[in-house]
Amino acid sequence: MPKPAAPHPTAEDLARRQREISVSEFFLKNRHLLGFDSPRRALLTAVKEAVDNALDACEEAGVLPEIAVEIVQTAPDRFEITVTDNGPGIVRAQIPKIFAKLLYGSKFHRLRMSRGQQGIGISAAAMYGQLTTGRPALIRSRTAKARAAHEIEVTMDTRANKPVILQDRETEWRPEFPAAPAAEGGSPEPPAVSEHGTAVTIALEGAYARGRLSVDEYLQQCAIVNPHLRLHYRLALLPKKGEADAGSEADAATAADAAGEWRRWRRAVEELPAAPIEIKPHPHGVELGVLIQMLKHTSARTVRSALAQDFSRVSDRIALEVCARAGVDPKASPARVAHRESEAIFKALNEVKLMRPPTDCLSPIGEERIVAGLRKEVEADFYTAATREPAVYRGRPFQVEAGLACARPGAAEDIAADEPARLLRFANRVPLLYAAGACAITRAVTSVNWKAYGLTQPKGALPLGPLVILVHVASVWVPFTSESKDAIAHYDEIVREIVFALQECGRRLALFLHRRHREADAARKRGHIEKYLPHLAGGLRAILNLDDREEEKVRRKLVELLERSRGGPA
């Protein structure tokens, strides 16, 4: 009997097709979620992940960061990027997992501000490199002077999300950083060799373009919010066709890139930012399901001690109160708590009065440093910054900072007819370049009524004028809208804090603009007085038959009178 064509599958047939999907298979197919959707963005994302990791490692180990970023074009659509840092280095056994396993790291489970938080970034960059060039990632790392450096080539088995080590050898490698010529009024920086640090090299398919959303823009903004960073950058592009005809300024820059000269950002400060302290979860940010899991997995022997030990702001006394309210025996074993009891504890935890979570888990940039960063970057007449007090969303502390720089602010009219303000977005000191439209920062900035501060603003848009607006959101867990970490999700609490910070800056801007306006007004009035008073005095002289001295006296008295009447300097 012939088999019927394509019979419909049964439940058993369907069952045979079910299988596990590894997280690397998932993200390989969905690489646009990780920021690798176009060659240009891929290049930026790879550099960004490597630099963010380097900065985190340096700061955690208490090392003033020095980082070198090298991008070498090896074919029209291929680049080799190397990011070298002077951080603490990585012990040999961890290297393969950190660079060739998605969802692996130290930052995910900790409540503490850091740039990385997902355990995806750098291994995703290596995975993308492997996908597009078939090449392994090369990592060199040294943890101390006394130790040898390790040089490891690693790829990912994407079917299992596991590293495959291709090379693993000891070398004499040390991180080296290029010398810098003397800046104006400064001294030259000698080439530096560090006793410890890490360098990662990834070959990938990419595209380089100058300007907005470029690696250059990212590094520049990085330098603004990390004034303690010494950064070196070298871009070596293949010569383009027809390069010989070049003559313009842009072409000169291209020529420099083709030559591959090192550029650098110096440190503006020589101290590290305050190190953020890890905190425990705050009960008001813990969902019922998480509470149940925490009680199940706690190392504490009683419910009371589990609450006091595993949560932030729950003292032994409060733990006792919670148990009493919930009608749960404080000496009960946490693993044996019934569902109804968990619900009761959950309810009680949300009813008792608790201090807000501690905020030393955050390390804001600070108003002074924001203004300093803006001064370095933006030529303007007015600078201000506001760092808000820490706040809480879903039990997680966060803190918002805003900065403003305003050029040519002579009069409000002056600012009006221009381009939209330039918005610089940062989360945990990392510049956010893509997906501005989806970001809570953009929503907050456009929802502020900038007209109240003397600016022009199209409805629901950025204010117009030669203005730079900077917003920094720092949190133990920044709620990004996607794994590529380009935009912050719209939590009301966060949007509100951003608005408050911007309004604080806006009010100061308004005062400044108002004063400027008044001064311009006064100058104009004074002009009128100076123009017409002599004629008035001359008229009075003719009528009253005054002599020269008397006329001069009358003129002077009139000036005094008018100056007083308009409230100017007596």
The nearest distance, CB 15 to a copy of itself, in angstroms, is: 4
Instruction: Please pick, from the candidates 74, 75, 77, 91, the single residue that binds a copy of itself as defined by CB under 8 A.
Output: 91
The nearest distance, CB 320 to a copy of itself, in angstroms, is: 23
Instruction: Please pick, from the candidates 290, 324, 335, 355, the single residue that binds a copy of itself as defined by CB under 8 A.
Output: 290
Residue 338 is a binding residue for a copy of itself (CB under 8 A): no
Site residues for a copy of itself, 191-250, by CB under 8 A, read: 196
CB 216 within 8 A of CB 115: no
Site residues for a copy of itself, 429-448, by CB under 8 A, read: 437-438
Of residues 80, 82, 77, the one with CA closest to residue 67 = 82
Size of the site for a copy of itself (CB under 8 A): 78
For residues 302 and 110, what is the distance between their CA atoms, to the nearest angstrom? 24
Residue 104 is a binding residue for a copy of itself (CB under 8 A): yes
Instruction: Please pick, from the candidates 53, 73, 123, 143, the single residue that binds a copy of itself as defined by CB under 8 A.
Output: 143
Instruction: Please pick, from the candidates 110, 356, 508, 525, the single residue that binds a copy of itself as defined by CB under 8 A.
Output: 110
Residue 39 is a binding residue for a copy of itself (CB under 8 A): no
Nearer to a copy of itself, 143 or 446 (CB): 143
Fill in the amino acid letter for 24.
S
Nearer to a copy of itself, 489 or 540 (CB): 489
Q: Please state whether 293 falls in left (phi above 0), alpha (psi between -120 and 50) or beta.
A: alpha
Nearer to a copy of itself, 9 or 568 (CB): 9
Q: What are 317's two structure tokens?
A: 């006394």
The SS3 call for residue 160 is: coil
Instruction: Please pick, from the candidates 73, 342, 387, 399, the single residue that binds a copy of itself as defined by CB under 8 A.
Output: 342
Q: Could you tell me the CA-to-CA distances from 62 to 87, 101, 148, 276, 427 in Å, in that order?
A: 9, 26, 22, 11, 21
Residue 518 is a binding residue for a copy of itself (CB under 8 A): no
Going through 35-89 in order, the beta strands assigned E by DSSP cover 66-75, 78-85
Residue 493 is a binding residue for a copy of itself (CB under 8 A): no
Residue 10 is a binding residue for a copy of itself (CB under 8 A): yes
Instruction: Please pick, from the candidates 105, 163, 397, 465, the single residue that binds a copy of itself as defined by CB under 8 A.
Output: 105
| Mode of pairing for the β-strands spanning 391-393 and 382-387 | unpaired
Instruction: Please pick, from the candidates 330, 390, 463, 479, the single residue that binds a copy of itself as defined by CB under 8 A.
Output: 479
Q: What are 534's two structure tokens?
A: 């002599």
Of residues 471, 446, 448, 441, the one with CA closest to residue 461 = 446
Residue 343 is a binding residue for a copy of itself (CB under 8 A): yes
The nearest distance, CB 61 to a copy of itself, in angstroms, is: 5
Instruction: Please pick, from the candidates 82, 118, 214, 333, the single residue that binds a copy of itself as defined by CB under 8 A.
Output: 118
CB 139 within 8 A of CB 199: yes
Going through 444-530 in order, the beta strands assigned E by DSSP cover 467-475
On the 0-12 / 13-18 / 19+ scale of CB atoms within 10 A, 382 is middle
The nearest distance, CB 92 to a copy of itself, in angstroms, is: 9
For residues 481 and 77, what is the distance between their CA atoms, to the nearest angstrom? 29
Residue 133 is a binding residue for a copy of itself (CB under 8 A): yes
Nearer to a copy of itself, 288 or 411 (CB): 288
From 40-48, 53-61, 234-242, 514-522, give the range in contact with a copy of itself by CB under 8 A.
Answer: 53-61
CB 49 within 8 A of CB 128: no
Give the number of other Cβ atoms within 10 Å of residue 395's Cβ: 21
Q: Exposed e or buried b for every residue in 542-570, given b needs 16+ CB within 10 A?
A: eeeebeeeebeebbeebeeebbeeeeeee
Site residues for a copy of itself, 369-428, by CB under 8 A, read: none
For residues 390 and 394, what is the distance between their CA atoms, to the nearest angstrom? 13
Q: What are 274's two structure tokens?
A: 């305050």
Nearer to a copy of itself, 91 or 183 (CB): 91
For residues 147 and 375, what is the distance between their CA atoms, to the nearest angstrom? 42
For residues 480 and 494, what is the distance between their CA atoms, to the nearest angstrom? 12
Instruction: Please pick, from the candidates 2, 4, 134, 569, the single residue that binds a copy of itself as defined by CB under 8 A.
Output: 134
Residue 22 is a binding residue for a copy of itself (CB under 8 A): yes
Instruction: Please pick, from the candidates 3, 17, 353, 524, the single residue that binds a copy of itself as defined by CB under 8 A.
Output: 17
Residue 130 is a binding residue for a copy of itself (CB under 8 A): yes
Residue 144 is a binding residue for a copy of itself (CB under 8 A): yes
Nearer to a copy of itself, 10 or 545 (CB): 10
From 20-28, 45-53, 187-195, 234-242, give the range in contact with a copy of itself by CB under 8 A.
Answer: 20-28
Report the Cα 34 to chain-centroid distance in Å: 17
- In whole angstroms, how large is the CA radius of gyration of the chain? 31
From 11-19, 253-261, 365-373, 518-526, give the range in contact with a copy of itself by CB under 8 A.
Answer: 11-19
The nearest distance, CB 524 to a copy of itself, in angstroms, is: 39
> What are the backbone angles phi and psi of residue 31, rounded to the nearest 5°?
-70, -15
Site residues for a copy of itself, 291-330, by CB under 8 A, read: 292-293, 297
From 39-47, 288-296, 397-405, 539-547, give the range in contact with a copy of itself by CB under 8 A.
Answer: 288-296
For residues 196 and 85, what is the distance between their CA atoms, to the nearest angstrom? 8
